[in-house]
Amino acid sequence: MPNPTFVKVLLVVICGLFSIIVATGAAILTHTTGASLAEAILSAGGAFAVSMGLSLTTLSALGLV
């Protein structure tokens, strides 16, 4: 049986990696619309924060974290 703390840490890391993928996609989409690099990075930061928050809230609601 794996250590429950280790599993929780891995789930949080997975949420972080998923959020980085979402943020990268948001930055690419924002930059291709003609926005500046600074605006694309700001958009990516917002997308990361929202995605991470939703992921951790979902895991918490399921009782996994």
* Helix 4-32 with 37-61: angle, nearest 10 deg: 150
Name residues of the chain where pLDDT drops below 70: none
Return the CA Rg of the chain.
Answer: 15
Asked whether residue 2 is domain-assigned, the answer is no
CA distance linking residue 58 with residue 28, whole number of Å: 26
Domain that holds residue 53: 14-61
**Would you say the pTM of this structure is higher than 0.85?**
yes
pLDDT at 35: 94
Phi first, then psi: what are they for 33, rounded to 5°?
-80, 0
pLDDT at 65: 86
Report the number of distinct structural domains present in the chain.
1
Asked whether residue 8 is domain-assigned, the answer is no
